[in-house]
Amino acid sequence: MYDTVLLPTDGSDHAERAGVHAGLLAQRFGATVHVLNVVDLQSAAGPMNAGGVDEEYVQRLEAEGEAAIAAVEPTVEDAAVETAVVRGRPSQTILDYAADHDADLLAMGTHGRTGIRRYIAGSVVEHVVRHASVPVLTVRATETSHPGDGYEEILVPTDGSEPATVAVEHALAIAERMDARIHALNVVDAATLASGPEEQVSPDVLDELRARGERVTDEIATAAADRGIDATTAVREGLPARDILDYAADTDVDLITMGTVGRSGLSRFLLGSTTERVIRHAPVAVCAVNARDTV
């Protein structure tokens, strides 16, 4: 499934942690890792400097880019590696590089260095997640985000929609290579269903939604079993992003894999805003699969 993994880096701890995940996945899938540093000349020049920066300064920025790549290379040393320092606007340059090199997966730290060279900052990651045509794995350098020898517990939030199903295939493929267990989770968002703060959803509607949640999670468990993968299911009632994060913490999940577009209307908890909220707050890696082409 993954032949080429793109790892943008600024040399930060978060980018290095993303490198650990990139190296692990590349090793298990036999992929090549492309380590990329983007030199953002526009940010380097600053908004008041219409003349840009001189070549000596550019060379210094590119040397820093090479150093950032060198810092992250040990995390992917067990994989085939290619490196590049490219000038451009970070988010678009990352997307263009991914397209030009047929990347199957991007791995990014969600927070980078402060100051003018913070191109792994959240806004860039969110832009890449929204627009990338391939999955984007995001990770922060936290106590729980190191994958060790591999993932053991993979969480798949689902609303049963076609976009969510696209994310399931990636979760199953990773679980198969890692010998991990799949957790299929459906969250019934009763607050969204209510017409007002004082209104409550009828018991019949909630029962129907819970039953549907059980069906869609059971479908994932069956697909996992067909591939020899252990799986467990859960249906919860609550707020999607919060309950996804709570479930991940309660079950010591190593990786969350979810679609960035979900069912429209009342059951739309896999919309991009929820995925972005999970990306911002998850202490473990999140693999976001952009399924807009299936909607």
* Domain chopping of the chain, boundaries: 4-139, 153-294
Query: How confident is the model over 78-127, as pLDDT tens digits?
Result: 899 999 999 999 999 999 999 999 999 999 998 744 433 444 445 788 88
Looking at residue 295, what is its pLDDT?
44
Share of the chain above pLDDT 70, in %: 84
Written out in words, the top-level CATH class of the domain with range 4-139 is alpha beta
Task: Specify the pTM.
Answer: 0.88
pLDDT in tens, 251-291: 999 999 998 864 433 344 444 578 888 988 999 999 999 87
Query: Which residue reads 């003018």 in tokens?
Result: 116
CA–CA separation, 90 vs 74, rounded Å? 23
Closest CA to 33 of 48, 17, 21: 21
Indicate if 153-294 has the same CATH topology as 4-139. Answer: yes
Burial class (CB in 10 A: 0-12, 13-18, 19+), 127: middle
Any alpha helices (H) in the chain, and if so which ranges?
13-29, 41-45, 55-72, 90-100, 122-131, 162-178, 190-193, 203-226, 240-250, 272-281
- The CATH code for residues 153-294 is 3.40.50.620
Rounded CA-CA distance 33/22 in Å is 7
- CA–CA separation, 291 vs 295, rounded Å? 7
Q: 87 - beta bridge partners?
A: 39
